[in-house]
Amino acid sequence: MAHNLYIRGMAEINSTNLQYTGANGKNALYDIQIPDNYNGELIVFIHGFMGFKDWGCWNLVQDYFVDKGFAFIKYNVSHNGTTIDDALNFSDMEAFGNNTYSYEVADLEGILDIIQHSFEEQPKINLVGHSRGGGIALLFSHNDRISRIVSWAGISNIQSRFPKNEALENWKKTGVRTVHNSRTGQDLPLYYVQFEDYLANRKRLNIEYYCRTSSKPTLVVHGTEDESVNISEGEQIAEWTLNELVRIEGTQHTFGSEHPCGSDSLPAPLREVCDKTLNFLQQPIDQEHNQNISAIVEMIKLAKSDNDFQQDEFNFIHTLAQMMGISTDEFKELFERYISFNPPEIEFDRILQFQRLILLMNIDGEADIKELNHIRDIGIRMGLNPLAIEKILDTMEDYPNGVIPPDQLLGIFQVYHN
């Protein structure tokens, strides 16, 4: 697979049960379909707990989006209990018991690597995750390869999935507990290593953090009668990502789908979910606005870095935000949350953003060591020349209020650029 290059405009591709190497070196299966009317965008679909890529109506979901011009990948997480030879049943109890959220993060990273090495022209990648898969998708909100994220009945908290108090102690003591699958009648093992992995990786697995600090366009969909993942979790995700929750009235966790599907058409609730998702994916992304938001957030961080946030600094940043088309309400929201770093692509725009930070740092007439270190870090993360950054910080002292004339600031960058 990694040696095949997919090019827009080529004949349709529809491959099933291909193999990829997932977490801990375990192989698993994935499907990929690229239509002849391929629009340059790819959906990666992530199934949920006790699910798999061919569960229920997920194949019909693939058909829906492929028909609209999207390439589509769905895959089995490597430790979901299915195997290469038996993709429809939970026959590998040991893998199921040892599965962790970190493994599922690693699986998605493996799928993204396949995409990176398999497309001559990189597609815009949209993640669509159901239930636990929705939580995994949200954990990728800082990933530069992702364009949009869609949560279908997604979980908002991983720690709440584990037992508490005496039940947790019993799990630790025995090393295993079971979960009943009502569809198959199986009692599936869950090993204590799952909780140990969470404790070791709780920052990477903090869905709230990744939602609150995300600049990715995100759609949050939830059924009002969901008994598996309460709609309150969808409300949390929507609140954290500053979105309105899309409620699918009168439907449950899988939006009317069941396994086996038993139909050649989508259930009405799932069709509604697909329609709303399609509408979201077809909306243009305002990259300039995202970059402006990122710039304002970095200014807020800088102003707060010396623990002495002043009214002059607030007014200065607020004025810049208004000039960038950021509303007052949106600006105020930014004081309550930090989004992921999203610098402009063009170097001149990055220099302009850096100059604004210089102006902000000196608005109170002094620059302390925390502010200087913060602005160094921002400049380097922007990809600006470290020597030019140091030269500018040294040169500030030669000017009243530390404000370097724009032409000289550009000249410094040009010298070190050459």
Confidence check: pLDDT of 19 > 90:
yes
Inter-CA distances, 203 with 13, 139, 216, Å: 39, 10, 19
Cα dihedral: 296, 221, 259, 60 (round 10):
-80
What percentage of the chain has pLDDT greater than the value 70? Answer: 91
Average the pLDDT over 376-403 and give the result: 81
Q: Would you state the structure tokens that stand for residue 138, as one six-digit string?
A: 């949200």
Q: What is the DSSP letter of 122?
A: P
3 confidence band (pLDDT: 50, 70, 90): very low
For the chain, give the mean pLDDT.
89
9 confidence band (pLDDT: 50, 70, 90): low
358: left (phi over 0), alpha (psi -120 to 50) or beta: alpha
**pTM of the predicted protein model:** 0.76
3-state secondary structure of 324: coil
* One-letter amino acid of 67: D
Cα 143 to the center of its chain, rounded Å: 6
Q: Would you state the structure tokens that stand for residue 50, as one six-digit string?
A: 């006790």
Can you tell me the distance from the alpha carbon of 403 to that of 191, in angstroms, rounded to the nearest whole number?
Answer: 60
2 confidence band (pLDDT: 50, 70, 90): very low
Parallel/antiparallel/unpaired status of strands 71-75 and 27-34 = antiparallel
* More confident: 29 or 373: 29
Confidence check: pLDDT of 361 > 80:
no
Structure confidence by residue, pLDDT tens digits, 305-357: 666 667 777 788 888 888 888 888 888 777 666 666 666 777 888 888 788 77
Of 156-160, 175-179, 288-292, 307-311, least confident by mean pLDDT is 307-311
Question: How big is the chain by its Cα radius of gyration, in Å?
Answer: 24
Can you tell me the distance from the alpha carbon of 112 to that of 2, in angstroms, rounded to the nearest whole number?
Answer: 11
381 confidence band (pLDDT: 50, 70, 90): confident
Indicate the domain borders of the chain. Answer: 13-159+201-281, 287-417
Average the pLDDT over 282-287 and give the result: 80
Structure confidence by residue, pLDDT tens digits, 241-257: 888 999 999 999 999 99
Beta-bridge mates of residue 191: 176
Can you tell me the distance from the alpha carbon of 15 to that of 29, in angstroms, rounded to the nearest whole number?
Answer: 11
Can you tell me the distance from the alpha carbon of 90 to that of 78, in angstroms, rounded to the nearest whole number?
Answer: 12
With 0-12 / 13-18 / 19 or more C-beta atoms within 10 angstroms meaning exposed / middle / buried, residue 299 is buried
pLDDT score recorded for residue 337: 65
Quickly name the fold that domain 13-159+201-281 has. Answer: Rossmann fold (3.40.50)
pLDDT score recorded for residue 284: 82
Of 20-34, 355-369, 386-400, 402-416, least confident by mean pLDDT is 355-369
Cβ partners under 8 Å of residue 280, min gap 6:
148, 150, 217, 219
DSSP E strands in 37-88: the ranges are 41-46, 71-75
* One-letter amino acid of 206: N
Angle between helices 193-200 and 165-174 (to 10 degrees): 110
Average the pLDDT over 27-51 and give the result: 96
Peptide bond into 260 cis (omega under 30): yes
Can you tell me the distance from the alpha carbon of 271 to that of 231, in angstroms, rounded to the nearest whole number?
Answer: 19
